[in-house]
Structure 1
Amino acid sequence: MEGLLQKQTKDFSEILAEYESMIYHLIHKLNIQDRDGEFYQQGLIALWESYQKFYGRDSFPKITYITIRSRLIDLIRKKSRLIEHETISEFFQEEAVNDSNIENFDPLFWDMVKNALTEKQWVYVQKRIIQGRGIKEIAYEEGTTTDAVKGWGKEVKRKLKPVLKPYLI
């Protein structure tokens, strides 16, 4: 058993020496800035899994290339979604500006936002974003459930994304 494990490790180290340049090539081809080595590590994992499943087949190089490329793209998408989610979360969870006259800062902007939303969604914007109230508190005040208030928030995000696009840098 130990001899087999050592043989696999030795074989994989040879595979790594042969295919490591493929990982670097794909990172470069996909224009990835890999400061932390996270994408390289994902490439190594993909190479290992490809080695475990497909080593010895004639199509091993092609399968390995596709596997590594797919994993890197998946990681790009995952990071992109995470960044987008963090940005939206920061927007909706920042400390509220406790100014009851916030509409006076840019009345045209707030009119545009208000016109894009339903009455309940505008209540969400006023109470959650402008006043900084909690979801439970809003639900209690509006006589509804927290899930309903969360639903208003999701719809606000969906509706305001295209409306706010010109304001985002």
Structure 2
Amino acid sequence: MHKFTFEEIYNQNKQRIHYHIHQLNIHDPHREFYVEGLTALWHAYKTYEPDKGPMATYFNSIIRYRLIDRIRKQSLEQTQMKRYLSDYPRVSDGSNHSYHTALKDLLLDTPELCAKLKSLLTENQWNWLDYAIIRDMPHKAIAEKENTTVDAVKGWAREVRRKLSSAEIRKLLRQEFE
């Protein structure tokens, strides 16, 4: 029996990937699902055992279920992010530490969000956010570093909290993760 190369298998079965993407009603502008299907095709090619059944049936099931797994994974990630964003404003109503931790994680994970926030805050407000939230410095240490009073630093903190709870920032956060 002739052993096919992956290139031959790919040329014979690339439409199979498109078929499953279409059947599952997947919108794939960045071809992420196509690449996932291609990876599944390669995996199926490597693990196919002729005595277990027809190659086409095996390819169909591997590709289809890999695409379904990818949909589930993306859906779960979106659900978790929406839950995180909806809980985010409420985290501050009792525990400053958990609010700071959530904000710190969010800022460290998304540099583009940092850049957008930096453009919306004054230099002193950004410095407070950087020192107090990201670097976990106390107000007294920030005041010494910035050569100002603790009360001034607390004022920056109040303004940052006010701006972070504004509708504009909430909209920015939702746009960032939807």
TM-score normalised by the chain length of structure 1: 0.51
**CA displacement at 1:134 relative to structure 2:** 2.8
Q: 1:39 aligns with which of 33, 42, 54?
A: 33
Q: 2:64 aligns with which of 56, 66, 69?
A: 69
- The answer to whether residue 97 in structure 2 is matched with residue 134 in structure 1 is yes
Q: Is the 8 A contact 2:92 2:99 kept in 1?
A: no
**Kindly tell me: are residues 55 and 17 of structure 1, through their superposed partners in 2, closer, same or farther at Cα, counting changes over 3 Å?**
farther
Q: Which amino acid letter does the alignment assign opposite residue 47 of structure 2? A: K
State the distance in 2 between where 1:15 and 1:21 align. 11
The one-character-per-residue Cα deviations of 1:71-94 (angstroms, maximum 9, x if unpaired) are 000000000000001101111124
**Kindly tell me: are residues 59 and 87 of structure 1, through their superposed partners in 2, closer, same or farther at Cα, counting changes over 3 Å?**
same
> Pairwise CA RMSD of aligned residues?
2.6
Q: Is the 8 A contact 2:36 2:67 kept in 1?
A: yes
Q: Is the 8 A contact 1:24 1:40 kept in 2?
A: yes
State the distance in 1 between where 2:93 and 2:25 align. 39
**CA displacement at 1:56 relative to structure 2:** 4.4
1:71 aligns to what SS in structure 2? helix
**CA displacement at 1:55 relative to structure 2:** 5.8
State the distance in 2 between where 1:28 and 1:132 align. 48
**CA displacement at 1:11 relative to structure 2:** 1.1
**CA displacement at 1:21 relative to structure 2:** 0.4
The one-character-per-residue Cα deviations of 1:10-66 (angstroms, maximum 9, x if unpaired) are 711110011100000000000000111110000001000100111645421101100
Residues 74-93 of structure 1 correspond to what in structure 2 (within 5 A)? 74-93=69-88
The one-character-per-residue Cα deviations of 1:122-155 (angstroms, maximum 9, x if unpaired) are xxx5xx2546733389xxxxxxxxxxxxxxxxxx
Q: Is the 8 A contact 1:92 1:129 kept in 2?
A: no
Q: 1:24 aligns with which of 18, 21, 28?
A: 18
The number of equivalent residue pairs is 98
Q: Unaligned 5+ residue runs, structure 1?
A: 1-7, 95-124, 138-169
Q: Which amino acid letter does the alignment assign opposite residue 97 of structure 2? A: G
Q: Could you say which residue in structure 2 is the equivalent of 1:54?
A: 48
Q: Which amino acid letter does the alignment assign opposite residue 23 of structure 1? A: I
TM-score normalised by the chain length of structure 2: 0.49
